[in-house]
Amino acid sequence: MGLKQVKILRWQPPPYSFVKLNCDGCSRDNPGEVAMGGIIRSNKGEFIWAYGSFLGNQTKMVAELEALYEGLKYCAANGLHDVIVNSDSMSLVQCVNSKTSPLWMYHGKFREIIHILQDCNMKVLHCFREINVVADYLVNYACNEREHFNWHSPRLLPEFARGLINLDKLQMPYIRNLC
Protein backbone atom coordinates (compact mmCIF):
# COMPACT_ATOMS: atom_id res chain seq x y z
CA MET A 1 0.00 0.00 0.00
CA GLY A 2 1.45 3.39 -1.06
CA LEU A 3 1.71 6.54 0.97
CA LYS A 4 -1.18 8.97 0.74
CA GLN A 5 -0.33 12.37 -0.61
CA VAL A 6 -1.71 15.31 1.29
CA LYS A 7 -1.83 19.03 0.69
CA ILE A 8 -1.65 21.63 3.45
CA LEU A 9 -4.20 24.40 2.86
CA ARG A 10 -4.83 27.71 4.60
CA TRP A 11 -7.38 30.48 4.15
CA GLN A 12 -5.46 33.42 2.71
CA PRO A 13 -6.51 37.01 3.32
CA PRO A 14 -6.85 39.13 0.19
CA PRO A 15 -4.22 41.69 -0.84
CA TYR A 16 -4.19 45.16 0.72
CA SER A 17 -7.30 47.25 -0.19
CA PHE A 18 -9.21 44.10 -1.23
CA VAL A 19 -11.87 42.14 0.63
CA LYS A 20 -12.53 38.43 0.28
CA LEU A 21 -15.94 36.91 -0.34
CA ASN A 22 -16.20 33.20 0.40
CA CYS A 23 -19.54 31.92 -0.89
CA ASP A 24 -21.15 28.50 -1.00
CA GLY A 25 -24.31 26.60 -1.76
CA CYS A 26 -25.46 23.33 -0.24
CA SER A 27 -28.06 20.78 -1.19
CA ARG A 28 -29.55 17.84 0.62
CA ASP A 29 -30.28 16.28 -2.77
CA ASN A 30 -29.88 17.58 -6.30
CA PRO A 31 -32.53 18.77 -6.83
CA GLY A 32 -33.70 19.01 -3.25
CA GLU A 33 -33.59 21.31 -0.26
CA VAL A 34 -30.86 23.91 -0.81
CA ALA A 35 -29.40 26.93 0.91
CA MET A 36 -26.81 29.56 0.10
CA GLY A 37 -24.49 31.73 2.13
CA GLY A 38 -21.17 33.40 2.50
CA ILE A 39 -18.88 35.70 4.41
CA ILE A 40 -16.94 38.84 3.54
CA ARG A 41 -13.67 39.62 5.35
CA SER A 42 -11.06 42.35 5.16
CA ASN A 43 -7.42 41.99 4.15
CA LYS A 44 -6.70 41.42 7.86
CA GLY A 45 -9.30 38.65 8.11
CA GLU A 46 -11.73 40.88 10.00
CA PHE A 47 -15.44 40.16 9.69
CA ILE A 48 -17.42 42.55 7.46
CA TRP A 49 -20.70 40.72 6.76
CA ALA A 50 -22.09 37.20 6.53
CA TYR A 51 -25.32 35.77 5.20
CA GLY A 52 -27.19 32.53 4.77
CA SER A 53 -30.58 31.64 3.40
CA PHE A 54 -32.71 28.52 3.00
CA LEU A 55 -34.02 28.48 -0.59
CA GLY A 56 -36.41 25.50 -0.54
CA ASN A 57 -36.36 22.92 -3.32
CA GLN A 58 -33.92 23.85 -6.06
CA THR A 59 -30.73 22.57 -7.66
CA LYS A 60 -27.23 22.93 -6.23
CA MET A 61 -26.26 25.31 -9.04
CA VAL A 62 -29.14 27.64 -8.13
CA ALA A 63 -27.79 27.74 -4.56
CA GLU A 64 -24.25 28.47 -5.78
CA LEU A 65 -25.48 31.26 -8.09
CA GLU A 66 -27.62 32.83 -5.36
CA ALA A 67 -24.71 32.74 -2.90
CA LEU A 68 -22.43 34.52 -5.36
CA TYR A 69 -25.12 37.03 -6.35
CA GLU A 70 -25.96 38.01 -2.76
CA GLY A 71 -22.32 38.50 -1.85
CA LEU A 72 -21.52 40.55 -4.95
CA LYS A 73 -24.67 42.63 -4.53
CA TYR A 74 -23.65 43.48 -0.95
CA CYS A 75 -20.12 44.40 -2.03
CA ALA A 76 -21.32 46.66 -4.85
CA ALA A 77 -23.94 48.36 -2.64
CA ASN A 78 -21.40 49.04 0.11
CA GLY A 79 -18.55 50.40 -1.99
CA LEU A 80 -16.43 47.26 -1.80
CA HIS A 81 -15.14 47.24 -5.37
CA ASP A 82 -11.86 45.34 -4.95
CA VAL A 83 -13.00 41.80 -4.22
CA ILE A 84 -11.49 38.32 -4.42
CA VAL A 85 -14.27 35.73 -4.55
CA ASN A 86 -13.61 32.15 -3.50
CA SER A 87 -16.07 29.38 -4.28
CA ASP A 88 -15.55 25.65 -3.97
CA SER A 89 -17.87 25.09 -6.94
CA MET A 90 -15.61 24.56 -9.93
CA SER A 91 -18.69 24.57 -12.19
CA LEU A 92 -19.76 28.01 -10.96
CA VAL A 93 -16.26 29.47 -11.27
CA GLN A 94 -15.88 28.13 -14.83
CA CYS A 95 -19.30 29.47 -15.87
CA VAL A 96 -18.62 32.93 -14.45
CA ASN A 97 -15.11 33.23 -15.87
CA SER A 98 -16.27 32.05 -19.32
CA LYS A 99 -19.43 34.21 -19.04
CA THR A 100 -21.57 31.18 -19.88
CA SER A 101 -24.89 31.00 -18.03
CA PRO A 102 -25.29 27.55 -16.45
CA LEU A 103 -29.09 27.64 -16.28
CA TRP A 104 -31.37 29.18 -18.89
CA MET A 105 -33.96 30.14 -16.25
CA TYR A 106 -31.26 32.09 -14.37
CA HIS A 107 -29.88 33.90 -17.39
CA GLY A 108 -31.11 37.30 -16.12
CA LYS A 109 -29.51 36.90 -12.70
CA PHE A 110 -26.36 35.54 -14.31
CA ARG A 111 -26.15 38.67 -16.49
CA GLU A 112 -26.46 40.79 -13.33
CA ILE A 113 -23.55 38.86 -11.77
CA ILE A 114 -21.41 39.48 -14.86
CA HIS A 115 -22.40 43.17 -14.86
CA ILE A 116 -21.34 43.61 -11.20
CA LEU A 117 -18.06 41.83 -11.88
CA GLN A 118 -17.32 44.06 -14.89
CA ASP A 119 -18.13 47.28 -12.99
CA CYS A 120 -15.73 46.43 -10.18
CA ASN A 121 -12.27 44.98 -9.68
CA MET A 122 -13.45 41.48 -8.78
CA LYS A 123 -11.91 38.08 -9.44
CA VAL A 124 -13.76 34.77 -9.04
CA LEU A 125 -11.45 31.91 -8.09
CA HIS A 126 -11.91 28.27 -7.21
CA CYS A 127 -10.83 27.07 -3.79
CA PHE A 128 -10.91 23.72 -2.05
CA ARG A 129 -13.79 23.05 0.34
CA GLU A 130 -11.38 23.12 3.31
CA ILE A 131 -10.55 26.77 2.60
CA ASN A 132 -14.24 27.61 2.29
CA VAL A 133 -15.06 26.13 5.70
CA VAL A 134 -16.72 29.23 7.22
CA ALA A 135 -19.05 29.73 4.24
CA ASP A 136 -19.77 25.99 4.23
CA TYR A 137 -20.71 26.08 7.90
CA LEU A 138 -22.97 29.13 7.50
CA VAL A 139 -24.84 27.73 4.51
CA ASN A 140 -25.42 24.41 6.29
CA TYR A 141 -26.58 26.32 9.37
CA ALA A 142 -29.14 28.22 7.25
CA CYS A 143 -30.28 24.97 5.63
CA ASN A 144 -30.66 23.20 8.96
CA GLU A 145 -32.53 26.13 10.52
CA ARG A 146 -34.58 26.68 7.34
CA GLU A 147 -34.15 30.42 7.85
CA HIS A 148 -32.70 33.57 6.31
CA PHE A 149 -29.81 35.29 8.11
CA ASN A 150 -27.94 38.58 7.72
CA TRP A 151 -25.14 38.82 10.25
CA HIS A 152 -23.85 42.39 10.57
CA SER A 153 -21.71 41.66 13.62
CA PRO A 154 -19.48 38.71 14.40
CA ARG A 155 -21.04 38.56 17.87
CA LEU A 156 -24.33 37.51 16.25
CA LEU A 157 -22.80 34.56 14.38
CA PRO A 158 -23.15 31.03 15.70
CA GLU A 159 -20.31 30.39 18.15
CA PHE A 160 -18.80 27.64 16.00
CA ALA A 161 -18.59 30.02 13.01
CA ARG A 162 -16.75 32.58 15.15
CA GLY A 163 -14.26 29.87 16.08
CA LEU A 164 -13.71 28.95 12.43
CA ILE A 165 -13.08 32.61 11.57
CA ASN A 166 -10.46 32.80 14.33
CA LEU A 167 -8.76 29.64 13.06
CA ASP A 168 -8.58 31.18 9.58
CA LYS A 169 -7.09 34.41 10.97
CA LEU A 170 -4.47 32.36 12.81
CA GLN A 171 -3.62 30.60 9.53
CA MET A 172 -4.41 27.18 10.97
CA PRO A 173 -3.81 24.51 8.35
CA TYR A 174 -6.37 22.20 6.82
CA ILE A 175 -5.18 18.89 5.41
CA ARG A 176 -6.57 17.57 2.13
CA ASN A 177 -5.94 14.01 0.98
CA LEU A 178 -4.96 14.00 -2.69
CA CYS A 179 -5.44 10.27 -3.32
Spatial CB neighbours of 172, under 8 Å, sequence gap ≥ 6: 10
> Which pTM does this prediction carry?
0.94
Q: Which residues pair with 148 in a beta bridge?
A: 53
139-162 tens-digit pLDDT: 999 999 999 999 999 999 999 999
Pick the CATH number of 14-165 from 3.65.10.10, 3.40.50.720, 3.30.70.980, 3.30.420.10: 3.30.420.10
Query: In angstroms, rounded to a whole number, what is the distance separating the alpha carbons of residues 42 and 93?
Result: 22
* Residue 40, H or E segment: strand 32-41
Query: In angstroms, rounded to a whole number, what is the distance separating the alpha carbons of residues 1 and 9?
Result: 25
91-101 tens-digit pLDDT: 999 999 999 88
Q: Where are the domains of the chain?
A: 14-165
